[in-house]
Amino acid sequence: MSSVPLIEVDNVSKRVRDATGELTILHDIRFSLRERESVAIVGASGSGKSTLLGILAGLDTPSSGTVRLRGQDLFALDEDARAAVRGAELGFVFQSFQLLPNLSALENVMLPLELRGERDAKALATQMLGRVGLGERLGHYPRVLSGGEQQRVALARAFVLRPALLLADEPTGSLDFATGAQVMALMFELNREAGTTLVLVTHDTSIAARCERQLRIEAGALASGSHAD
């Protein structure tokens, strides 16, 4: 394992202007993550958690500070280059699943593989859907899948690329408790198998407790970044 952090967040701030003036969403956030580490970002609604996740992905830009992935300053790159980094290094799981409705489960998982030019996209996607328990649902479209099944497709799509970094934003927020617990157990299993670094935004304290560290955001500032016992 490399001694260099996989990702470094260096004095990241995010400010926006509205009719009342300037609003600070994030203020001087600083932390680093090692390879294979699992981290939960916790805090009240509106504290800046999802904004921070968007900046980690290079989907949003900070007002000041930067994010380095494997030592590369994401914001020294143009948008096309950042998109290439996302395609090569990052996986995403969202509360709302973000599946393409006109594609089957298999086609949804094949898509990122095809975009990356993988010749064995169908075989790899089929294998991953089997791993998440959907081997019999390959041809089903999102509209006929349950919420839990849709999130399993989303997990398969995220992990099939074996990303270095997986970003998950309230992945159980649209699921009932029992289904959410099953999905999270699967996510942690897949994460261990793939050796991925996991950054998880959640309101659920029991999910956060399963991560090695918790980063608490309060009013846009990093209040704590404890290691789990």
Q: Using one digit for the tens of pLDDT, what is the confidence trace for 181-222?
A: 998 999 999 999 899 999 999 988 889 999 999 999 998 999
pLDDT at 204: 87
The residue-averaged pLDDT of 80-84 equals 92
Element containing residue 166 per DSSP (H, E) = strand 165-169
The one-letter amino acid code at 21 reads G
- In the chain, % of residues over pLDDT 90: 69
CB 177 within 8 A of CB 148: no
Is pTM, for the whole model, over 0.85? Answer: yes
pLDDT at 225: 61
pLDDT at 226: 47
Q: Rounded CA gap, 38 and 35, in Å?
A: 9
pLDDT at 51: 92
In the structure encoding, which two tokens stand for residue 1, read together?
Answer: 């394992």
What value does the mean pLDDT of the chain take? 91
Please report, for the chain, the start and end positions of each structural domain, with discontinuous segments joined by +. Answer: 35-60+78-227
CATH T-level assignment (fold) for domain 35-60+78-227: Rossmann fold (3.40.50)
pLDDT at 229: 39
For the chain, the helix, strand and coil percentages under 3-state DSSP, each to the nearest 5 = 35, 30, 35
pLDDT classification of 122: cutoffs 50, 70, 90 = very high
Q: Report whether pLDDT(106) > 70.
A: yes
The residue-averaged pLDDT of 37-54 equals 91
Q: Rounded CA gap, 37 and 43, in Å?
A: 20
